[in-house]
């Protein structure tokens, strides 16, 4: 029990550390007396070593007679303008290190050698100024790591401007050795993240939701208890079940079901010697703030206007004209939302965001109010529609004369960790792509429907922009984007545009009812995906939820079949995974993929009324909000432990995580230095690190928030009238007809039925037993 108290303190500490790179994570393997630098003699290339250039510096590296040769043509204007580096050097606090290397240069000059923090303040942990010359200089010394452990520091040589003008020259480096010679004072244990033993959704549950907790490291316990956090009384005791060897997280898991607790309140779970779970809430409105913040986040990402907020407010940004790539043409593309932790604005991910928001609103309009605290609040239009319109207005500016749509606008490179108004370099609009044009077409056609009653002129502008885009698509079969070589910001490049065109056609059909689009849909067949790169399922959503669509048409039935197939796959994985998540592999932005799976499951629930799909959809929500192997609520500012150091420039500049952002989450491909350093030996389902340098696990984006918004719109518990199979709000003979029909054609996805209301036997099957009960109910009520 003492251990428990201690671990708790650590959890609380972890939760309060802001932007502290080295504070909390794994590999505890001792590195004593091994050369930490893997390529030290350059016998076969320069692998592991790289060059950083800025402020006018120019340099290349190669090998020369078994040495590393750094050829410098321009020293630039600052000392790190030309920098030779070796990434990911673990330095443990109180460790004594010995560093040695040989260095020479074709000229006499001064360089700095150091091991420094890679990010943050770039503080040096050890530093030497060196006068180098053609005669090799042998450097060999010991130092102690005084600062907090930093397992991803950077060893580098600043070879830029040091005050003396220099022509082209070459620096040679060889026999680099870094060893941890004394680790007797290193406390390896001190740096592990706290991993809870019992995981639940940390935010909580609606009263009638299915509620299960995951238990790990169980030693002999067979039951668990739910405790009321205010009274400390045991309100429920249940048995552990479902022991599973979880290969993805490398742990053994048990489950405990506490769905019986429906009484609103705050609770936590205990189980023998395991650490108590974090507290969570049960209530009707448990997600309302979360839902509001998932949309409000977009306001805080607004570009091209003053943003008002006590902590993250800023003056207008990115409001200069932008240059169309490769021309002298300057255009106004101000507005829209910053995409992510960077300040680029990209059409392709914008379209996904817009679609998620509008379909979330369509699914459960009653959840969306007019008081989010955005400038348009109180104007009589739901804020989710006002906020979405802010992006749509920007998207309209991205359409070229031709009807084609520019892929994106950003500066040529990513800025430092600054507020948006401080990024003042030239804005560049990159060429038109057919993926952006089709996504734009779909978004505008969709917008036409939603804004028609609010502002007819705007709606018509959207529809004619969509029509212009469609004409461009007809004339330009396929023009896929690649980043021009001098632009390094988000590429959002795709291999095919079939799914984008399918989505566009489906939205155009919904907006106009025109047969041409239906013919186009039939020619491609249903496509899938709710990603930025695959968007076909938005086409399926458009068709399935379209008013008055012919349910026997091939467009409709193929869309339903595509959804069913995916929903069944996601439901199966969710059932087999102790955490209830519908994924077994985790890539960049996996939290979006998890939320997307929830959307597909929710849609299929809406089609069939089969509760098991809704349960699986919400299991994915519970994963995102804390019931996952890392025990993290991935939405900033919610739950007990949520990301403190997201890769998000405003949060990094302010020194505090902005609230209401869903981070990318687990990504086992280790695609940034922090992920490589912290997660090298981590099981795939746990590859996440709360470190601001980890953009491949801990960045945020507008299109990761938006599927969460959609998923949350599935949480509204609708009152069901007993026996109301046809969901018309009352019970009668008509429901008997619906149920008989359903049972007769039980494979027919078309027969829509409110499963929960019709399942009178409460056995999760709809069959003749329910029919018998329903007949009795009709008789007794008449
Ligand atoms: O900050 C950038 C982030 O928004 C991107 O998702 C990521 C991948 O493209 O790149 C980040 O920028 C990094 C760049 O790729 C490499 N140098 C360091 C930059 C900041 O971490
Ligand atoms: O979300 C994108 C992810 O699917 C890609 O694997 C990754 C690398 O191309 O890029 C992600 O998008 C980033 C974009 O390029 C720049 N802004 C931040 C985005 C999220 O990291
Ligand atoms: Zn901006």
Tell me, letter by letter, the H, E, C secondary structure of 529-562. CCCCCCCHHHHHHHHHCCCCCCCCCHHHHHHHHH
pLDDT at position 751? 62
* Whether residue 407 lies in the annotated active site: no
**Taking Cα atoms as reference points, which of 499, 382, 604 lies closest to residue 507?**
499
pLDDT of residue 429: 98
- Bigger pLDDT: 3 or 55? 55
CB atoms < 10 A from the CB of 399, how many? 23
424 vs 10, which has greater pLDDT? 424
Asked if residue 619 has pLDDT above 50, the reply is yes
Q: What is the pLDDT at residue 116? A: 97
Q: Among 101-110, 199-208, 427-436, 473-482, whose mean pLDDT is lowest? A: 473-482
Model pLDDT, residue 719:
65
pLDDT score at 370: 97
695 CA to middle of ligand 1, Å? 7
Please tell me the distance from the alpha carbon of residue 41 to that of residue 175, in angstroms, as a whole number. Answer: 5
Q: Is the pLDDT of residue 430 over 80?
A: yes
Ligand 1: which of 83, 342, 489 to mutate, most ligand atoms within 8 Å of CB?
Answer: 342
Q: Which pLDDT does position 191 carry in this prediction?
A: 63
Q: What is the mean pLDDT of residues 315-320?
A: 98
Ligand 2 center–CA 490 separation, angstroms: 6
Q: What is the DSSP letter of 253?
A: E
Instruction: Tell me the average pLDDT of the chain.
Output: 93
647 is catalytic: yes
Q: Is 349 in the pocket of ligand 2 (CB under 6 A)?
A: no
Centroid of ligand 3 to alpha carbon of 419 (angstroms): 9
Q: Which ligand is nearest to the CA of 52?
A: 1
What pLDDT does 588 receive? 98
Residue 556 banded pLDDT, cuts 50, 70, 90 = very high
Return the sign of the alpha-carbon dihedral for residues 627, 628, 629, 633.
negative
Ranking 4-13, 109-118, 624-633, 764-773 by mean pLDDT, the lowest is: 4-13
pLDDT band at 635 (very low <50, low <70, confident <90, very high): very high
Ligand having the closest approach to the CA of 701: 2
Each residue of 244-255: pLDDT tens digit? 999 999 999 999
Q: Name the catalytic one among 161, 179, 339, 342.
A: 342
Could you read off the pLDDT of 708-743 as tens digits, one per residue? 999 999 998 666 788 998 888 889 999 999 999 888
Helices 554-576 and 515-524: crossing angle in degrees, nearest 10, is 50
Lowest mean pLDDT among 354-363, 385-394, 748-757: 748-757
Residue 727 confidence (pLDDT): 81
Q: Quick one: CA dihedral 704, 707, 709, 715, positive or negative?
A: negative
Whose alpha carbon is nearest atom 16 of ligand 2?
A: 490
Closest C-alpha to ligand 1, atom 7: 695
pTM of this structure: 0.84
| CA–CA gap between residue 381 and residue 757 (Å, rounded) | 33
Task: Pick the atom of ligand 2 nearest to 701's CA.
Answer: 20
Residue 319 bears catalytic tag: no
């Amino acid at each position: 029990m003492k251990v428990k108290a201690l671990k708790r303190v650590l959890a609380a500490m972890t939760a309060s550390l802001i932007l502290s790179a080295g504070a909390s994570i794994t590999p505890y393997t001792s590195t004593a007396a091994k050369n930490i630098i893997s390529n030290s003699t350059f016998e076969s290339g320069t692998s592991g070593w790289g060059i950083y250039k800025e402020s006018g510096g120019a340099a290349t590296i190669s090998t020369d007679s078994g040495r590393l040769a750094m050829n410098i043509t321009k020293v630039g204007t600052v000392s790190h303008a030309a920098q030779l580096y070796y990434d990911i050097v673990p330095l443990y606090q109180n460790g004594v290190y010995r560093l040695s290397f040989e260095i020479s240069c074709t000229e006499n000059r001064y360089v700095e050698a150091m091991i420094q923090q890679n990010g943050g303040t770039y503080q040096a942990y050890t530093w030497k100024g060196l006068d180098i010359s053609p005669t090799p200089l042998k450097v060999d010394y010991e130092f102690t790591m005084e600062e907090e452990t930093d397992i991803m520091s950077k060893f580098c040589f600043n070879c830029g401007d040091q005050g003396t003008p220099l022509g082209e020259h070459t620096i040679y480096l060889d026999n680099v050795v870094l060893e941890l010679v004394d680790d007797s004072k290193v406390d390896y244990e001190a740096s592990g993240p706290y991993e809870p033993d019992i995981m639940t959704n940390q935010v909580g549950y609606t009263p009638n939701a299915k509620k299960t907790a995951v238990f790990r490291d169980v030693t002999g316990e067979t039951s668990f208890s739910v405790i009321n956090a205010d009274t400390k009384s045991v309100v429920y005791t249940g048995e552990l079940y479902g022991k599973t060897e979880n290969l993805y997280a490398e742990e053994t898991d048990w489950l405990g079901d506490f769905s019986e607790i429906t009484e609103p309140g705050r609770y936590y779970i205990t189980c023998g010697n395991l650490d108590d779970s974090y507290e969570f809430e049960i209530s009707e409105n448990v997600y309302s703030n979360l839902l509001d913040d998932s949309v409000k986040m977009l306001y805080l990402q607004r570009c091209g206007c003053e943003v008002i907020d006590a902590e993250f407010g800023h003056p207008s940004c990115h409001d200069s004209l932008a240059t169309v790539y490769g021309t002298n043409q300057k255009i106004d593309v101000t507005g829209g939302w910053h995409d992510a932790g960077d300040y680029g604005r990209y059409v392709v991910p914008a379209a996904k965001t817009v679609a998620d928001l509008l379909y979330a609103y369509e699914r459960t309009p009653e959840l969306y109010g007019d008081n989010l605290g955005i400038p348009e609040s109180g104007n009589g239009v739901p804020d989710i529609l006002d906020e979405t319109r802010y992006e749509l207005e920007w998207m309209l500016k991205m359409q070229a004369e031709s009807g084609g749509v520019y892929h994106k606008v950003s500066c040529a490179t990513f800025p430092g960790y600054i507020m948006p108004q401080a990024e003042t370099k030239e804005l560049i609009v990159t060429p038109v792509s057919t993926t952006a044009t089709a996504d734009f077409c779909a978004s505008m056609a969709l917008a036409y429907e939603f804004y028609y009653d609010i502002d007819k002129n705007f709606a018509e502008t959207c529809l004619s922009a969509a029509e212009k885009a469609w004409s461009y698509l007809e004339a330009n079969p396929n023009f896929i984007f690649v980043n021009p070589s001098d632009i390094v910001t988000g590429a959002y490049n795709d291999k095919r545009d079939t799914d984008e065109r399918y989505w566009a056609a489906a939205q155009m059909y919904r907006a106009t009812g025109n047969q041409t689009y239906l013919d186009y849909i039939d020619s491609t067949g249903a496509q899938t995906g709710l990603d930025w790169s695959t968007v076909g399922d938005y086409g399926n959503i458009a068709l399935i939820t379209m008013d008055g669509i012919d349910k026997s048409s091939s467009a409709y039935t193929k869309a339903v079949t595509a959804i069913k197939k995916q929903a069944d796959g996601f439901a199966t994985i969710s059932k087999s995974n102790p955490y209830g998540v519908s994924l077994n592999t985790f890539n960049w932005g996996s939290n979006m993929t998890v939320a997307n799976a929830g959307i597909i499951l929710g849609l299929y629930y809406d089609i069939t009324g089969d509760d098991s799909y809704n349960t699986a959809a919400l299991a994915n929500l519970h994963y995102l909000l804390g019931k996952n192997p890392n025990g993290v609520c991935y939405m900033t500012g919610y739950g007990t432990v949520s990301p403190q150091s997201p890769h998000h420039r405003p949060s990094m500049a302010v020194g505090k995580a902005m609230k209401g952002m869903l981070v990318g989450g687990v990504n086992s491909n280790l695609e940034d230095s922090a992920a490589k350093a912290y997660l090298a030996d981590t099981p795939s389902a746990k590859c996440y690190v709360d470190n601001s340098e980890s953009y491949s696990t801990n960045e945020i984006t507008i299109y990761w928030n938006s599927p969460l918004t959609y998923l949350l719109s599935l949480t509204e518990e609708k009152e069901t009238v007993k026996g109301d199979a046809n969901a018309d709000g009352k019970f009668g003979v008509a429901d008997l007809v619906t149920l008989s029909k359903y049972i007769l054609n039980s494979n027919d996805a078309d027969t829509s039925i409110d499963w929960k209301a019709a399942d009178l036997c409460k056995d999760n099957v709809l069959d003749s037993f329910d029919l018998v009960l329903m007949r009795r109910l009709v008789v007794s009520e008449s």
